Amino acid sequence: MDIIKGNFLNRDEVTVHYKYFLMVFGLLMVMIYSNHLVGKKIERVNELKEETEEYKSRNAYAQSRLIKIKLESELGKEMLTDSLMTLESHPMKLLIKLDSTNVKTKQ
């Protein structure tokens, strides 16, 4: 019953140990605060990881575009040296129909 009423805190032998209780309470508060800071830092690290992944993918895309542009410019230079011109219109497709009588005679 003393625990429920709180009478155990008023005893003379307990009052001697109040400074230890306060020290333990202070250490617990420091531990809780440090855990809170660690949680914030972990969230920040995760955000930075996501950003680095996005920047890596952007860099890879930019490098692939740069390679394509370099390749196109090199091909353009080679075409000029060979006196080839680029097409202004697409080539036409020729469709050839086989006569069905010729196919039967060959078989």
Please tell me the total count of domains within the chain: 1
User: In which domain, by residue range, is 97 found?
Assistant: 2-106
- Average pLDDT on 45-64 reads 96
pLDDT band at 40 (very low <50, low <70, confident <90, very high): very high
Structure tokens at 34: 């440090």
Distance of alpha carbon 18 from alpha carbon 4, whole angstroms = 19
The pLDDT mean for the chain works out to 83
pTM: 0.49
Phi and psi (nearest 5°) for 85?
A: -110, 150
Residue 105 has pLDDT above 60, yes or no: no
pLDDT band at 35 (very low <50, low <70, confident <90, very high): very high
